[in-house]
Chain A
């Protein structure tokens, strides 16, 4: 690239982090780079150390939680749908303002793997949803075995995938355990349908066919494991009740509804056991079954690839997946499933930090649509007069929102490949599944309204309008090149194509010099609605 692009300098010992490269890193690790974040990263010194130091700092920041917010709102009298709105508001506020960006970004990624959603049976379970978010946030750099246990026992997941209230079989009445959670835990949260090599490629049998990871008997085994659990604090399974306290506490086992049968588990090389004996306690069955899942060789490449896809790249090389999976398998101190080490490995991998001038044209990914917006908000210090970040029903506009997936299969699937160049080159582009003609138009229109109508040059905006601050560019309004340079620096890390820069400049000049706000907004709209801005490289 030429024009206004800032040449990328390969990190070398002794040199501070290049600002454009810092921008790129922060796109992967936060909800959007800000000038302050870039300054902070550059100040961490030598580029061979700065990223690692930054990650360590982030890991040390205490998590921003949602449950305390919901509890406070409840205490102040909010009920029903108002609590739903408060949860969404609080999450947007965290993504825009709070410092624990990496933790929140990883938690958001986890929320797209271990999906629960307000759309469905959890509509009126705001305490459960808020606390589920908090579980993901607390465990974002933690132990994956602990994460899947807390996810499994969370009432939000219990309701969403109907493990909560799952009873032991009653063959006389043709009742057998619910298979919902068993199936999705294995298929979507941990190992997937087919056996993987340590580098994430699919293992095949002698005729070249993928080898399934389990069959129906294993699903039934796990379904029997996940019986007997209900809301906590009751004296019996049938008297367990939902309230704002039990929504946010792990489910409790009630032995009278736990299946006593022997239970098939996953069978793989190195498995401690592939069958649980009959008549164990619910807790013992659960613990052994989750150990059986956690130690399956698929988990490392399965989770590695998904997290890489959420943070860095749609099409990581098998070597990249293998390097990250190896860290999942052993963090260097013999411990498996340490997510902090995994995240560090993902972001510090050479493939995450290539020289963009020579990198493949398949480097990076399409941004998640909501990140296009939040990145703009962060870069332009978005705020509202009443201090609330209210964007209701984000999924109707952006095709996604926090804990708003249409199903357990998330907003998009990891292997989506639209016809055309992506499919022909055997690539995938998950986010393109929701980049439909319809949603792209709706998003473009939303960005249009944000940029032209809700910016700091407009008077008399509503108290809840989220307003972007254009003051720095407005001060440059007589200088079109300076406006474009500033927008490019804040929104594209300085890497703007000559064609887009020229259009943005021409946009500025369609307004007289006295229309300072419109000069800036015109150029900004063309940039944030462009294909370049939609991509994270």
Chain B
């Protein structure tokens, strides 16, 4: 970052939140950044977003009799049968036994191999919440709980009530700017459209699409096209559009050139939209050296999880795809020799109500997420798996469960593994100071 950019960054973050607590004075933070050398190793984070709000209570389910009975009593016609759950054996059991959905054999296997961790009951929080605090209104809550786009935005931005227009992956790109100057591509790459997650205060992501693409125009024609893109525009929308065209021109050619020379992966991927994106991510990682990349964050997404209807028909197909796609991607990182350098993690709008609306479920709050890779301390459940009881100790109504872990804690743990100076933690995860445990210790 040059000085102007630094000032813009700090201004954006400080005006974004009056509550913003810097660990030290801004000038010191940035001065220190400037002194840090480039990374000598490679790491990437791969965010798999399950759009629509994945019903976690079909994903990891209690198997032991007492807990299953409570689950079945709550979920009624949405309950997954006890005897079809695929058992998982956490190294540090909490007293109950658990299984994963029968369509998720690959995830079961990754968990048992110690390559996958379960994060139990994570969701947007500004500060720790108890049922009593919630009911008495004595706690600050994320705005517009249970609304899709607002809660997606909370996962992406961690902004709470601030007006931040950046995402936590985007801010990572901002603070790592000087350590990644040799990178020829944006640190953030989306395979699935524009996402707030990757918007920096300054750094712009690159939306490459599910497989990448190339420009048809070549030669004089392309040169003319470029000159027109770089000509001054009198209208603000024209300028913003030209900015996108500029990145498209620079990155598309670069990426296409690198991918053309990429080794062919022997790992087979399913034929789904999610797997197609993850396969492209694997190919991009394979050409990381040609592109000068030492730190990358990829965003892939898959929809369909808003199961208000026909949940028992639709969700198993979705979970089967997620499981098989995640496993194929993990296998590809093994093939590429980067399975300890690549960490894949899931996010979703929210989990869903324990109660049923007949044949589906509605928008809720905390839920289950997976973290996968050889840098993950796998085969464990982090956080507290909640009591699945309507009117239970963490139910704010209708079986909407209060998270025990905040998205800030989840993100902070991944951020530290990624190599961001802890001095910047509050810039990336602005609410982290409200939580005692700033690192959930699921990463090596």
The answer to whether A and B belong to the same complex is: yes
Binary CB contact string for chain A from 8 to 45 against chain B (1 if under 8 A, 0 otherwise): 00000000000000000000000000000000000000
In this complex, what residue of B is CB-closest to A363?
B235
Q: Which of A161, A425, A435, A449 contacts B241 (CB 8 A)?
A: A435
Binary CB contact string for chain A from 298 to 338 against chain B (1 if under 8 A, 0 otherwise): 00000000000000001000000000000000000000000
Main secondary structure of the interface of B (DSSP, over half): loop
Q: Which of B248, B357, B363 contacts A176 (CB 8 A)?
A: B357
Binary CB contact string for chain A from 391 to 434 against chain B (1 if under 8 A, 0 otherwise): 00000000100000011010001001111111111010100111
Chain A residues positioned under 8 Å from B215 (CB to CB): 441, 444-445
Q: A314-B237, A421-B236, A506-B224 are in contact. Are A174 and B245 (CB under 8 A)?
A: no
Chain B residues positioned under 8 Å from A366 (CB to CB): 237, 240-241
Most A Cβ at <10 Å: residue of B146, B357, B397: B357
In this complex, what residue of A is CB-closest to B354?
A174
Chain A residues positioned under 8 Å from B139 (CB to CB): none
Q: A419-B200, A438-B207, A526-B225 are in contact. Are A535 and B357 (CB under 8 A)?
A: no
In this complex, what residue of A is CB-closest to B390?
A174
Q: A173-B356, A363-B235, A535-B238 are in contact. Are A437 and B165 (CB under 8 A)?
A: no
Give Cα A515–Cα B385 distance, bound, in whole angstroms.
72
Taking a contact as CB atoms under 8 Å apart, the answer to whether A535 and B309 are in contact is: no
Taking a contact as CB atoms under 8 Å apart, the answer to whether B161 and A209 are in contact is: yes
Taking a contact as CB atoms under 8 Å apart, the answer to whether A409 and B245 are in contact is: no
Looking at the assembled complex, report how far the CB atom of B16 sits from the nearest CB atom of chain A, in whole angstroms.
11
Binary CB contact string for chain A from 164 to 204 against chain B (1 if under 8 A, 0 otherwise): 01110000011111111001000100000100000000000
Taking a contact as CB atoms under 8 Å apart, the answer to whether B149 and A173 are in contact is: no
Q: A422-B240, A534-B238 are in contact. Are A507 and B224 (CB under 8 A)?
A: yes
Chain A residues positioned under 8 Å from B149 (CB to CB): 409, 413
Q: A193-B150, A361-B234 are in contact. Are A417 and B165 (CB under 8 A)?
A: yes
Q: Which of A174, A418, A530 contacts B240 (CB 8 A)?
A: A418
Q: A174-B76, A419-B165 are in contact. Are A437 and B235 (CB under 8 A)?
A: no
Q: A420-B243, A425-B236, A497-B234 are in contact. Are A438 and B357 (CB under 8 A)?
A: no
Taking a contact as CB atoms under 8 Å apart, the answer to whether A174 and B204 are in contact is: no
Q: A236 within 8 Å of B by Cβ?
A: no
Q: A432-B241, A535-B238 are in contact. Are A503 and B227 (CB under 8 A)?
A: yes
Q: Which of A180, A364, A441 contacts B248 (CB 8 A)?
A: A441
Taking a contact as CB atoms under 8 Å apart, the answer to whether B201 and A419 are in contact is: yes
Q: B358 within 8 Å of A by Cβ?
A: yes
Most A Cβ at <10 Å: residue of B52, B206, B244: B244
Taking a contact as CB atoms under 8 Å apart, the answer to whether B362 and A178 are in contact is: yes
Q: B181 within 8 Å of A by Cβ?
A: no
In this complex, what residue of B is CB-closest to A174?
B355
Q: A187-B147, A445-B215 are in contact. Are A532 and B358 (CB under 8 A)?
A: no
Taking a contact as CB atoms under 8 Å apart, the answer to whether B194 and A434 are in contact is: yes
Q: A442 within 8 Å of B by Cβ?
A: yes
Give Cα A176–Cα B360 distance, bound, in whole angstroms.
10
Q: B217 within 8 Å of A by Cβ?
A: yes
Q: A132 within 8 Å of B by Cβ?
A: no
Chain A residues positioned under 8 Å from B360 (CB to CB): 162, 178
Taking a contact as CB atoms under 8 Å apart, the answer to whether B235 and A537 are in contact is: yes
Taking a contact as CB atoms under 8 Å apart, the answer to whether B241 and A534 are in contact is: yes
Per the 8 Å Cβ criterion, residues 403-429 of B in contact with A are none
Give Cα A425–Cα B360 distance, bound, in whole angstroms.
43
In this complex, what residue of B is CB-closest to A530?
B228
Taking a contact as CB atoms under 8 Å apart, the answer to whether A165 and B358 are in contact is: yes
Q: Which of A161, A180, A427, A503 contacts B224 (CB 8 A)?
A: A503
Looking at the assembled complex, report how far the CB atom of A236 sits from the nearest CB atom of chain B, in whole angstroms.
16
Give Cα A362–Cα B236 distance, bound, in whole angstroms.
5
Q: Which of B144, B235, B358 contacts A193 (CB 8 A)?
A: B144
Taking a contact as CB atoms under 8 Å apart, the answer to whether A437 and B244 are in contact is: yes
Taking a contact as CB atoms under 8 Å apart, the answer to whether B308 and A180 are in contact is: yes
Binary CB contact string for chain A from 226 to 245 against chain B (1 if under 8 A, 0 otherwise): 00000000000000000000
Q: Which of A180, A421, A449 contacts B216 (CB 8 A)?
A: A449
In this complex, what residue of A is CB-closest to B201?
A419
Give Cα A417–Cα B164 distance, bound, in whole angstroms.
11
Q: A193-B150, A436-B193 are in contact. Are A531 and B358 (CB under 8 A)?
A: no
Looking at the assembled complex, report how far the CB atom of A501 sits from the nearest CB atom of chain B, in whole angstroms.
11
Looking at the assembled complex, report how far the CB atom of A464 sits from the nearest CB atom of chain B, in whole angstroms.
21
Taking a contact as CB atoms under 8 Å apart, the answer to whether B234 and A1 are in contact is: yes
Q: A162-B308, A413-B149, A445-B213 are in contact. Are A364 and B221 (CB under 8 A)?
A: no
Chain B residues positioned under 8 Å from A506 (CB to CB): 224
Taking a contact as CB atoms under 8 Å apart, the answer to whether A180 and B362 are in contact is: yes
Per the 8 Å Cβ criterion, residues 202-252 of B in contact with A are 202, 204, 206-209, 212-217, 220-221, 224-225, 227-229, 231-245, 247-248, 251-252
Q: A448 within 8 Å of B by Cβ?
A: yes
Chain A residues positioned under 8 Å from B74 (CB to CB): 174
Q: B75 within 8 Å of A by Cβ?
A: yes
In this complex, what residue of A is CB-closest to B203?
A419
Q: A522 within 8 Å of B by Cβ?
A: yes
Q: A370 within 8 Å of B by Cβ?
A: no
Taking a contact as CB atoms under 8 Å apart, the answer to whether A429 and B51 are in contact is: no
Looking at the assembled complex, report how far the CB atom of B263 sits from the nearest CB atom of chain A, in whole angstroms.
24
Chain A residues positioned under 8 Å from B251 (CB to CB): 437
In this complex, what residue of B is CB-closest to A527?
B228
Q: B6 within 8 Å of A by Cβ?
A: no
Most A Cβ at <10 Å: residue of B217, B238, B247, B358: B358
In this complex, what residue of B is CB-closest to A413?
B149
Q: B399 within 8 Å of A by Cβ?
A: yes
Per the 8 Å Cβ criterion, residues 492-536 of A in contact with B are 497, 499-500, 503, 506-507, 510, 522, 525-526, 529-532, 534-535
Q: B303 within 8 Å of A by Cβ?
A: yes
Give Cα A193–Cα B270 distance, bound, in whole angstroms.
40
Q: B184 within 8 Å of A by Cβ?
A: no
Chain A residues positioned under 8 Å from B234 (CB to CB): 1, 361, 497
Chain A residues positioned under 8 Å from B235 (CB to CB): 361-364, 535, 537
Looking at the assembled complex, report how far the CB atom of B248 sits from the nearest CB atom of chain A, in whole angstroms.
4
Looking at the assembled complex, report how far the CB atom of A477 sits from the nearest CB atom of chain B, in whole angstroms.
18
Give Cα A366–Cα B308 distance, bound, in whole angstroms.
35
Taking a contact as CB atoms under 8 Å apart, the answer to whether B309 and A121 are in contact is: yes
Looking at the assembled complex, report how far the CB atom of A413 sits from the nearest CB atom of chain B, in whole angstroms.
7
Taking a contact as CB atoms under 8 Å apart, the answer to whether A174 and B399 are in contact is: yes
Q: A421-B240, A439-B209, A526-B225 are in contact. Are A433 and B233 (CB under 8 A)?
A: no
In this complex, what residue of A is CB-closest to B199?
A419
Looking at the assembled complex, report how far the CB atom of B178 sits from the nearest CB atom of chain A, in whole angstroms.
19
In this complex, what residue of B is CB-closest to A366?
B237
Q: A125 within 8 Å of B by Cβ?
A: no
Chain A residues positioned under 8 Å from B213 (CB to CB): 438, 441-442, 445
Chain A residues positioned under 8 Å from B252 (CB to CB): 437, 441
Taking a contact as CB atoms under 8 Å apart, the answer to whether B357 and A175 are in contact is: yes
Q: Which of B8, B237, B248, B355 contacts A432 (CB 8 A)?
A: B237
Taking a contact as CB atoms under 8 Å apart, the answer to whether A531 and B52 are in contact is: no
Most A Cβ at <10 Å: residue of B52, B243, B251: B243
Taking a contact as CB atoms under 8 Å apart, the answer to whether A177 and B209 are in contact is: no
Give Cα A429–Cα B242 distance, bound, in whole angstroms.
14
In this complex, what residue of B is CB-closest to A532?
B238
Chain A residues positioned under 8 Å from B146 (CB to CB): 183, 216, 219
Taking a contact as CB atoms under 8 Å apart, the answer to whether A429 and B240 are in contact is: yes
Taking a contact as CB atoms under 8 Å apart, the answer to whether B248 and A162 are in contact is: no
12 residue pairs A–B, Cβ–Cβ below 8 Å: A165-B358, A167-B357, A173-B356, A174-B390, A175-B358, A176-B355, A178-B308, A407-B51, A418-B240, A421-B236, A438-B193, A529-B225
Please give 13 more A-B residue pairs, beta carbons under 8 A apart, in addition to A162-B360, A444-B216.
Answer: A174-B74, A179-B308, A187-B147, A314-B237, A366-B240, A406-B303, A420-B240, A420-B243, A429-B236, A444-B215, A449-B216, A507-B221, A530-B229
Interface residues of A (CB under 8 A from B): 1, 120-121, 161-162, 165-167, 173-180, 183, 187, 193, 209-210, 212, 216, 219, 314, 361-366, 399, 406-407, 409, 413, 416-425, 427, 429, 432-442, 444-445, 448-449, 497, 499-500, 503, 506-507, 510, 522, 525-526, 529-532, 534-535, 537
